[in-house]
Structure 1
Amino acid sequence: MYIATNQETCEKIGEVLSAQADKPQNIRIFIAGMGCSGPSFGLGLDNINDNDFTESVNGVNFVVEQSVFDTVGEIKVEWVGNGYSVQPVNVQPSACGSCSSCG
């Protein structure tokens, strides 16, 4: 598995983990929904399950369900000043027009 991130992002996540010491210390990357442009992702504190991939980057343990990784591959997690951006590295959004919500 491969999680692309940077030191600043890991430091911000570390702050969250420190404040949540009584919760799991793993950052789960999950698909939060699907839209015209593909999946949208979320982050959450969670335990490691049997069907998960894990990767430790700069002291942060990222967890992804195998089926999610099989679907999207490499994932980029970045701190963007007011939150986190989570996107597949090699998947480009599809052209709009295939659903009714597109104008």
Structure 2
Amino acid sequence: MLNITELAANKIKEIMVDQNKENSYLRIYVAGVGCSGPNFGMALDDSKTDDDIIIEENGITAVADQRFAPYLEGAVIDYIESEQGSGFEIKSPFESDCGSCCSGCRG
């Protein structure tokens, strides 16, 4: 299902401690689906619903609406550090390699 790298899990735990939300869930959601794939978002959430799936990975309990389960299959949450900055990245096998439908991909 969803994979959370060890680095991402450690950063999520740091944020949970900083925000006094150690008992919260990591909610993963799909903010929209474009021609280049799903646009994911994530937030700390104090509750889950009956419609949620639960994913345990590297000490993080993530939840997502079961409608989004197909998009999460094989997805990876990572924490990227580069010269341009740092932050979380959610990669999905549903993402297009070419950017978007307007990018003029050629195969």
TM-score range, shorter chain: 0.7 to 0.9
Q: Hey, what's the Cα distance between the residues in 1 that align with 2:91 and 2:19? A: 25
CA RMSD of aligned residues (A): 2.2
Unaligned residue ranges in structure 2 (runs of 5+): none
**Cα separation, partners in 2 of 1:66 and 1:78, compared to 1, 3 Å:** same
TM-score normalised by the chain length of structure 1: 0.79
Give deviations 1:68-91, integer Å, cap 9, x for gaps: 013552321000121111122x32
Contact in 2 for aligned 1:38/1:94 (Cα 8 Å) = no
TM-score normalised by the chain length of structure 2: 0.76
How many residues are aligned here?
97
Of residues 82, 85, 89, the one that matches 2:89 is 85
SS of the counterpart of 1:83?
strand
**Cα separation, partners in 2 of 1:70 and 1:34, compared to 1, 3 Å:** closer
Contact in 2 for aligned 1:5/1:77 (Cα 8 Å) = yes
- Aligned counterparts, 1:19-98, within 5 A: 19-22=18-21, 25-46=24-45, 47-81=47-81, 82-88=86-92, 90-93=93-96, 96-97=100-101
SS of the counterpart of 1:78?
strand
Moved over 6 A (4+): none
SS of the counterpart of 1:64?
strand
Identity of aligned residues (%): 26
Give the corresponding residue for 2:8: 9
